[in-house]
Amino acid sequence: MRKLNFILTFVIAVGLLATSCSKKMEPLDSSLFTANPSPLELVGSKVPVTVNGRYPAKWFDKKAEVVVTPVLKYQGTETLGSPHSYQGEKVSGNAITIYQAEGGAFTVNSNFDYVPAMKKSELFLRFSVSRKGNHLIDFDVKVADGIVSTAALADAKTVTPALAPDAFQRIIKEAHDADIMFLIQRAELRSSELNSGDVKAWKELVQEVYNDDRKNLNVEVSAYASPDGGYSLNDKLAAQREKNTSNYLKKELKKSKVDTDVNAKYTAQDWEGFQKLVQASNLQDKELVLRVLSMYNDPARREREIKNISSVYSELAETILPRLRRSRLIANVEIIGKTDEELVAATNSSAINELSVEELLYAATLNGVSKEKVYSLVTQKYANDYRGWNNLGDVYFAKGDYSKASQAYAKASSISSRAAEPKMNQALLAMIDGDNAKAEQLLGSASGANTLNEALGVLYIKKGDYTKAVQAFGDTKSNNAALAQILSKNYNKAQQTLNGITAKDATTNYLSAIVAARTNNTSGVASSLKSAIDKGASKTEILNDLEFARFLSNPDVKNMLGL
pLDDT tens, the chain, 563 aa long: 444 444 444 444 444 444 444 446 889 999 999 999 999 999 988 999 999 999 999 999 999 999 999 999 999 999 999 999 999 999 999 999 999 999 999 999 999 999 999 988 999 999 999 999 899 999 999 999 989 999 999 999 999 999 999 999 988 899 999 999 999 999 999 999 999 999 999 999 999 999 998 899 999 999 999 998 888 999 999 999 999 999 999 999 999 999 999 999 999 999 899 999 999 988 888 888 888 888 888 888 888 888 888 677 888 888 899 999 999 999 999 988 899 999 999 999 999 999 999 999 999 999 999 999 999 999 999 999 999 999 999 999 999 999 999 999 999 999 999 999 999 999 999 999 999 999 999 999 999 999 999 999 999 999 999 999 999 999 999 999 999 999 999 999 999 999 999 999 999 999 999 999 999 999 999 999 999 999 999 999 999 999 999 999 999 888 888 77
Q: pLDDT of 209-242, one tens digit each?
A: 999 988 999 999 999 999 988 889 999 999 999 9
Alpha-carbon distance of 254 to 233, in angstroms, equals 32
Between the alpha carbon of residue 467 and those of residues 456, 481, 484, the distances in Å are 12, 11, 8
- Region of residue 464 (phi > 0: left; psi between -120 and 50: alpha; otherwise: beta): left
Alpha-carbon distance of 110 to 143, in angstroms, equals 13
Beta bridge partners of 36: 50
Within 8 A by CB and 6+ apart from 70, the residues are 49, 51, 80, 81, 82, 108, 110, 112, 123, 124, 125, 126
Q: How far is CA 115 from the centre of its chain?
A: 26
pTM, entire model: 0.76
The secondary element (H helix, E strand) that includes residue 469 is helix 466-473
- Domains of the chain (ranges plus CATH)? 24-148 (2.60.40), 171-336 (3.30.1330.60)
Opening angle at CA 488, ends 487 and 493, nearest 5:
100
